[in-house]
Amino acid sequence: MAILLSGGTVFIDNKFKKSDILVDNGSVVSVKPSIDVSESEIFDCAGKYIFPGFVDVHVHFREPGFSYKETIKTGSLAAAHGGYTSVFTMPNLNPCPDSAENLKIQTDIIKNDAVINVYPYGTVTKGENGIELSDMNDLADGVIAFSDDGRGVQNGEIMLEAMKKAKKLGKIIAAHCEVNDLLRGGYIHDGAYAKAHNHRGICSESEWKQIERDIELCKQTGVSYHVCHISAKESVELIRKAKKDGVDITCETAPHYLTLNDSMLREDGRFKMNPPVRSEEDRLALTEGLKDGTIDMTATDHAPHSEEEKSRGLEKSLMGVTGIETAFPVLYTELVRKNVIGLERLIELMSISPSERFGLKSGIKQGNPADLCVFDLEREYEINPADFYSKGKATPFKGKRVYGRCVMTICGGRVVYKEI
């Protein structure tokens, strides 16, 4: 049966209009001020906002290999709960998708269990070992892009060869940029909090130095290159300059880097992620990057772990926090309601820009896939991990008061989450 979303404020062509949306056979059939269809399931969206489904280019759904942390099913349900209709799963799995055979293990699970669109990355190197390229030719048709996320490719010659191969295949390299020799056993930002509490710090250079290297390789190869989870002011400036120089480069940052700084850390594993939350100066540089277009999109780096793995404090807990169910309300509350950016820009960052960069159809328009989310922007509530669909409950935003509740998500014309 067709679905009619009636009376909502709809994001169309980069602005908001009061409209009805008719969905049938998985697609948007019509977007008009008023639609009268007798045989349809009608949802009253008066007072609600309807956005194109969010796209997260950086998630960890942990399956195959680590299903005690998350599964394709629980991760995709969590994504739908957060308004996401498409996600890209990182390849640090067991087995990791470094061959067509290993990729099929993951895609079979996706086919059976995912409630939204789940697009896997393939690895850059075999076993993410940084030494030998993966079977990139065989993987190309089945992956959204290539990444060795979780570790930086340390050898510049290997990265150069990967870029040349990706360029031939018409694929993006999405890079976790980190120089291992500069980590020095650190686990939070090398800043005031680390010094005051006797923690080992991770310097910003460990991130931006590899971005600097890869920009030069991009200039040699012309590859399409995407930088994962930037956190440092130097990274913003390098990418800003590279864009001005004509490099085919995009980047993402995450809600925690945009809304937290290292003075807000607590002695709790839910504040530990890689790269770490950095200084207020870094945070402000990131927000400037959002405003001037240097930063192209937000991504959550949703990285669930078990309760025990996140209960060991800052030093010994595993890196990574959950984020896909809190991303919109946190960013809406901290950036839009505080007039840092407009709501239109937030939707561009969370949906339009990632879609366009990675070749997905974007926006709410006739003929496009019916991937939509409905939000009550006036709804205020407290973030409570007990309400998460994700297995991972560790979030630095626990207890935070936010605005913006997802009340419905539609993916491919199917209602995959509904509160109204």
Q: What is the pLDDT of residue 405?
A: 98
Per-residue pLDDT for 175 more than 80? yes
Report CA 71 to chain centroid distance, whole Å: 17
pLDDT digits (tens, 9 = 90+) for 206-226: 999 999 999 999 999 999 999
Tally of helices (H runs) and strands (E runs) in the chain:
13, 17
**pLDDT score of 37:** 85
pLDDT over 80 (residue 79): yes
pLDDT value, residue 316: 98
pTM of the model: 0.98
pLDDT band of 145, cuts 50, 70, 90: very high
User: Would you say the C-alpha torsion 105, 111, 112, 114 has a positive or negative sign?
Assistant: positive
Tokens for 295?
Answer: 């930063």
DSSP class of residue 352 equals I
Instruction: For residue 58, give both structure tokens.
Output: 């950086």
Query: In angstroms, rounded to a whole number, what is the distance separating the alpha carbons of residues 234 and 232?
Result: 5
- Cross-strand bridge partners of residue 30: 22
- CATH class assigned to 53-357: alpha beta
Q: Residues of the chain with pLDDT > 70: what percent?
A: 100
Mean pLDDT across 10-26: 96
Q: pLDDT-derived band of residue 272, with 50, 70 and 90 as boundaries?
A: very high
Q: What would be the CATH architecture of the domain defined by 2-49+368-418? A: Roll (2.30)
Q: What is the pLDDT of residue 1?
A: 83
DSSP-derived 3-state class of residue 222 = coil
C-alpha distances out from residue 403 to 72, 176, 218, Å: 28, 31, 40
Could you tell me the pLDDT band of residue 38, with boundaries at 50, 70 and 90?
A: confident
Give one DSSP letter per residue of 60-75, joined into a string.
Answer: ---TTT-TTT--HHHH
The residues spanned by each domain of the chain are 2-49+368-418, 53-357
- On average, the pLDDT of the chain sits at 97
Domains 2-49+368-418 and 53-357 share a fold: no
* 12 pLDDT tier (thresholds 50, 70, 90): very high
Q: Report pLDDT for 39.
A: 82
- Active-site residue identified among 301, 371, 376, 387: 301
Q: Quick one: which of 3, 6, 8 has its CA closest to 375?
A: 8
Q: What is the separation of C-alpha 416 from the centre of its chain, rounded to a whole number of angstroms?
A: 19
The average pLDDT across 142-154 equals 96
Residue listed under structure tokens 């460990």: 206
Q: Is there a catalytic annotation at residue 301?
A: yes
Above 80 in pLDDT, residue 420?
Answer: no
Tell me the per-residue pLDDT of 379-407, one tens digit each, with 9 for 90 and over. Answer: 999 999 999 999 999 999 999 999 999 99
- Predicted confidence band of residue 341 (pLDDT cuts 50, 70, 90): very high
Kind of pairing between the strands at 372-382 and 401-411: antiparallel
DSSP per residue over 368-389, as a string?
SB--EEEEEEEEEEE--GGG-S
Q: What would the pLDDT profile of 221-268 be if each residue is shown by its tens digit? A: 999 999 999 999 999 999 999 999 999 999 999 999 999 999 999 999
What pLDDT score does 138 carry?
98
Find residue 376's DSSP bridge partners.
405
Nearest to 69 by CA among 97, 98, 89, 99: 89
